Amino acid sequence: MKVLMLVNWKMEYKDAVPEDKQPPDYYVKGVPYWFFRYFKDTKDWDVDVVDCRSFGALERLEQEKIRFYIWQTIKCLPRLKRYDLVLSHGMQSGIVLCLWRRLFGKGTYRHVVFDIGAFNSARESGGSLRLMQFAGKSLDGVIYHTREQRGYYERCHPWLLDKIRYIPFGTDTDFFTPGAEKKAEGAPYILCLGHNKRDWETLLAAYALLRKRWDHIQRLPDLKLIGKGKIDAAIDGVTALPSVPVRRMMEEMENACFCVLPLQSFPYSFGQMTLLQQMLFQKAVIAADVPSLRDYVQDGQDALLYEPQNAAMLAEQMERLILDPTLCQQIGGRAAQSVRTKWNERRMAGEIQEYLTTVLQSS
């Protein structure tokens, strides 16, 4: 089986497996890529991977203006006949090929999209929707990671309903190994990771509420934001850092007392990787109750949820974990068990292989 995978991030092409990169971020010729390493008869799946890098002004246009990748597909067009299957991770990496197939024919290969953002951020009107409706009719399959996206397909792309498959995301339990990173000395801290679609305003407001409550009791754990880079004004107890390498990120998760994931609310997939990695590290996570996470956690069991944009409720959940270390530990332990048994990459890979096999066998 010859597969071409188009990914919507920049990769590193290596001669050997690196120790400082997680599998989606590198490609080694002859080594099964990412989740393909869990496929049955994995040697029968010959996978080439092309990332989204372009050049100069075109790359800036793709990333800052149009938000999809032109050159990635164009440079692959001459060799598409070699492949049985093309996988696009995100419609940013799939739209150009979809349009090409609508205009010039589908060819002999199948085209499946991992629809991370509900085509174009789940827009239900306007020119962008019409473009996606036109292009999407060329698809042979769609994989999505958030159940709520099905409603979007029913309303806007009903012709795809017999081609879509909900497959929950799974994280890498081999690379992300709790206890492998060093324990740091120093004051405890609350950790928030990520930069995209984070509700910093609500998190900082919640932390400010806690500081007012705790100024007469005992020292409140610091709040560390990794990915934000900076905040508008200095806030006591808050440290903001830019994104860090993955090994450093793992150290920060290892040493945090618990984590907060203050996502904005959108009806499509995002934030799941960060959530599951932190859960795997046996961390209690306080997360916004948004559609992309509801499939993966149970409030009070393996995470704590709060109403999006509700700073008072978030502050209450944070205080709850600070005052009850035993509860914090129990939730973290159940969280890790949930990932190991349900939300792991091996399970995800098995479901992906079964679905792709069905697509390839369809007429």
Evaluate whether 288 touches 261 at the Cβ level (below 8 Å). yes
Give me the pLDDT at residue 236, please: 87
For the chain, which residues make up each domain, given as ranges? 2-170+345-361, 189-341
The average pLDDT across 223-243 equals 90
- In this structure, the strands spanning 238-241 and 26-28 are unpaired
- Return the C-alpha torsion angle 215, 320, 238, 227, nearest 10: -170
Give me the pLDDT at residue 148, please: 95
What would the pLDDT profile of 64-104 be if each residue is shown by its tens digit? 899 999 999 999 999 999 999 999 999 999 999 999 999 99
What would the pLDDT profile of 167-196 be if each residue is shown by its tens digit? 999 999 999 988 765 666 677 899 999 988
Query: Is the predicted pLDDT of residue 216 greater than 70, yes or no?
Result: no
What is the CATH code for 189-341?
3.40.50.2000
Give residue 156's identity as a one-letter amino acid code.
C
Query: Is the predicted pLDDT of residue 163 greater than 80, yes or no?
Result: yes
Query: Is the predicted pLDDT of residue 51 greater than 60, yes or no?
Result: yes
Number of H helices, E strands in the chain: 13, 14
* CATH 3.30.160 is the classification of domain 2-170+345-361: no
Evaluate whether 81 touches 64 at the Cβ level (below 8 Å). no
Give me the pLDDT at residue 24, please: 95
What would the pLDDT profile of 287-313 be if each residue is shown by its tens digit? 999 999 999 999 999 999 999 999 999
Give me the pLDDT at residue 363, please: 66
The average pLDDT across 324-342 equals 97
- DSSP track, 86-149: EEEESGGGTHHHHHHHHHH---SSEEEEE-TTHHHHT--SHHHHHHHHHHHTT-SEEEES-TTH
Average pLDDT, the chain: 94
What would the pLDDT profile of 256-299 be if each residue is shown by its tens digit? 999 999 999 999 999 999 999 999 999 999 999 999 999 999 99
